[in-house]
Amino acid sequence: MIDDDNIFHLHLVSDSTGETVDGVARACIAQFPDVRAHEHVWSLIRTDAQLARVLADIERNPGIVLYTVFDSDIRRKLEEGCRRLQIPHSHVLDNTITMMAGYLGQQSRGRTGALHKMDEDYFNRIEAIDFTLSHDDGQSAWDLEEADVVIVGVSRTSKTPTSVYLANRGIKTANVPFVPGCPLPPELDQLKKPLVVGLIKDVDQLVSIRKNRLRQIERGEGGDYVDPVAVRNEVHQARRYFTDRGWKIINVTRRSIEETAAMIMATMYDRRGH
C-alpha cells in the first residue's frame, strides 16, 4: 500500500498525441516502485488558450512537468510558466536530440507529431494490426504463411496481448492455442517464412492465473484446466511438441509482455540476419 506522502502529481504535456512523453514517463516511474504518480495528461496543446488551462492545473496541483512540445512559442510559454511557478520541468527528448544533432552535424527539424506521420511505416502497422486481429486464437489458419511471427502456447500465456504488442510495431502476428487432445492446424508444420514461437509457463503460476480467470467469469471448478497434475502434463506435452519441431520456446513466467515481445523480435531479426 502506497501512502499519500508517496503520491505526486505528474503533468505530461504534448503538442502531439502524447505517446512519447507517456512512454518515457512510465519507464522512469517504474524505477521508483514505492511511489505512484497522479497523471495529468495534456495532448494536442497548440494554442495559448489550451496552454493557459494546462498552467492553471499545474498551479493547482504542483508536481513535475514532462513535455514533448516542439512549437517554439508554446514551449517558451510553458517553460516560463513553470519557472514562474517554481515547478521542475523537462523536455524528455532534449538531451538525446542534442547528442544526435552533434554527432550527425545537423540541426533537428522540431517537427510536431513526426512519429505519427501517415507514411509507409504507418500503413504497415495498420496492416499488421488488421492481420493480427483476424488471426487471433487460431483463426484463419489457411494463410499463416503470410505472418511474420506465429505464436503457439498453452492457455493463459498472454498470446493475444503479445501478438497485439508486436502488431503495433508492424509485425504481422498470428497466435494459435495449444489444447491437449485438440490437433493443431496442419498448416503449422508447413510454414517456411514465419518465425514460430512456443510459449509455456511454470505450472504453479499457470494454475493460479487460470483459477483467477475462472473466478472472474464465474465458471465453476475448471477440472483438468486447473488441476496441477493435468496442467503439468499439458506443459510437458507442449514443450515436447515445440522441441520436436525446432521452434523457439519462451518461458513467460515472470516476464512482462514487453520482455517476451523483445525476445521474439530479437530472434526474428537474428533469423533474418539483421
The annotation places the binding site for ADP at 153-160
Cβ-contact 155, 129 below 8 angstroms: no
Cβ-contact 226, 211 below 8 angstroms: yes
53-61 LR contacts (CB < 8 Å, sep 24+): 54/11, 54/13, 54/78, 55/81, 55/82, 55/85, 57/11, 58/11, 58/82, 58/85, 58/87, 59/85, 61/9, 61/11
DSSP 30: T
DSSP, collapsed to helix, strand or coil, labels residue 245 as coil
Q: Could you list the residues known to form a binding site, using ranges.
A: 153-160
Closest by CA position to 149, among listed 176, 126, 124, 130: 176
